[in-house]
């Protein structure tokens, strides 16, 4: 299994506070992704990265920013958390192989009160 | 834009039966991959099966097989001899190769295997 970890795994915060979720992978994968999972919506792409300092928006990027200063780390930041951002967040990565397979982290449950 | 549609939000079948989960997608491209991922109650995302669009032969992994109909843009998952451990959320996913790095997921089908 690919080594991909997320931190924190659980977080409770208050509306208006900044929150940063970290994704760390040890596979030297080029591509990294942040998804959020909500009932009835499946997995929706927030942002993704195709290399160090190269990122792009997904379908639900409003209210989120990302940074990738090293291959192994992909940070997701909520500048001012809102209750609508309560969700389970998944990080994923993939390499340059032709299979296209995504490897996922364990997920981070964020609750915004 | 590419889309993935799973029309069955929830299904239930008896243990040992065969079940088919539906997935359709929309793209004008020819070079892509399709996947089925499984998410058991542990929340871990597990790759079940993968299909390359250029391959006509349907992918098979033990009890799991797909029916890939490229012209119809359909990619269904068949689970044979279903087991209690197959109870999970199943997601269909799509990625364009060599051009777009986004991987798009459907909304999922929650599958219950009944004893």
Q: What domains can you pick out in chain B, each with its CATH number?
A: 3-114 (2.60.40.10)
Question: Which of B102, B104, B106, B108 is the best residue to mutate to test the A interface, defined by the most A CB atoms within 10 Å of its own CB?
Answer: B102
3-class state of residue A1 by DSSP:
coil
The CA distances from residue A77 to A34, A85, B39, in Å, are: 11, 11, 25
Whether CATH 3.20.20.70 fits A4-112 = no
Q: How many Cβ contacts (< 8 angstroms) between chains A and B?
A: 53
CB neighbours (10 Å) of residue A3?
A: 13
Tell me what the mean pLDDT of segment B67-78 comes to. Answer: 96
Of B44, B91, B95, the CB nearest to A43: B91
Task: Using the predicted structure, report yes or no on whether residue A1 has a pLDDT greater than 60.
Answer: no
User: How sure is the predictor about A40, in pLDDT bands with cuts at 50, 70 and 90?
Assistant: confident
Q: What is the 3-state secondary structure (H, E, C) of B10-29?
A: EEEEECCCCEEECCEEECCC
Task: Using the predicted structure, report yes or no on whether residue B112 has a pLDDT greater than 80.
Answer: yes
Task: Using the predicted structure, report yes or no on whether residue B99 has a pLDDT greater than 70.
Answer: no
Task: Using the predicted structure, report yes or no on whether residue B98 has a pLDDT greater than 90.
Answer: no
Question: Which of A50, A102, A105, A106 is the best residue to mutate to test the B interface, defined by the most B CB atoms within 10 Å of its own CB?
Answer: A102
Does residue B36 contact residue B6 with C-beta atoms inside 8 Å? no
Tell me what the mean pLDDT of segment A68-80 comes to. Answer: 97
Residues of chain A found within 8 Å of residue B35, distances taken between Cβ atoms: 100-102
User: How sure is the predictor about B106, in pLDDT bands with cuts at 50, 70 and 90?
Assistant: very high
Of A40, A45, A90, the CB nearest to B102: A45
Pairing of strands B19-21, B74-79: antiparallel
Tell me what the mean pLDDT of segment A86-107 comes to. Answer: 88
Task: Using the predicted structure, report yes or no on whether residue B107 has a pLDDT greater than 90.
Answer: yes
Radius of gyration of chain A (CA): 13
CB neighbours (10 Å) of residue A101?
A: 18
CA B19 – CA B66 distance, rounded (Å): 11
A2: Cβ–Cβ under 8 A, 6 or more apart, which residues? A25, A26, A27, A29, A93, A103
Q: What's the pLDDT score for residue B48?
A: 96
Residue of B nearest to A98 (CA): B97
Range name among A36-40, A87-91, B17-21, B63-67 with the lowest pLDDT average: A36-40
Q: What's the pLDDT score for residue B31?
A: 85
Q: Which two tokens stand for residue B59?
A: 């992918």
Q: What's the pLDDT score for residue B96?
A: 83
Query: What share of chain B in percent tops pLDDT 90?
Result: 78
Residues of chain A found within 8 Å of residue B43, distances taken between Cβ atoms: 88, 106-107
Q: What's the pLDDT score for residue B43?
A: 92
Distance from CA of A99 to the nearest CA of B (A): 8
Tell me what the mean pLDDT of segment A49-69 comes to. Answer: 94
- The total number of residues shown for chain A amounts to 113
């Amino acid at each position: 299994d690919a080594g991909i970890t997320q931190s924190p795994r659980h977080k409770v915060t208050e509306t208006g506070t900044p929150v940063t979720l970290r994704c760390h992978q040890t596979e030297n994968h080029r591509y990294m992704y942040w998804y959020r999972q909500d009932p009835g919506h499946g997995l929706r792409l927030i942002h993704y990265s195709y290399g160090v300092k190269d990122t792009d928006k997904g379908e639900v990027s409003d209210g989120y920013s990302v940074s990738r200063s090293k291959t192994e780390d992909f940070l997701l930041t909520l500048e001012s958390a809102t209750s609508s951002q309560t969700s389970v967040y998944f990080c994923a990565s993939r390499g340059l192989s032709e299979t296209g397979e995504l490897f996922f982290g364990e997920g981070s449950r964020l609750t915004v009160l | 834009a590419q889309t993935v549609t799973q029309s069955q939000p929830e299904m239930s079948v008896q243990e040992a039966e065969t079940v088919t989960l539906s997935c359709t997608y929309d793209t004008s491209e020819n070079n892509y991959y399709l996947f089925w991922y499984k998410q058991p109650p542990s929340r871990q995302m597990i790759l079940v099966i993968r299909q390359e669009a250029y391959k006509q032969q349907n992918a098979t992994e033990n009890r799991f097989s797909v029916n890939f109909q490229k012209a119809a843009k359909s990619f269904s998952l068949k689970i044979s001899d279903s087991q209690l451990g197959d109870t999970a959320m199943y997601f269909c996913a799509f990625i364009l190769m060599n051009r777009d790095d986004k991987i798009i997921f459907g909304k999922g089908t929650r599958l219950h295997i009944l004893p």
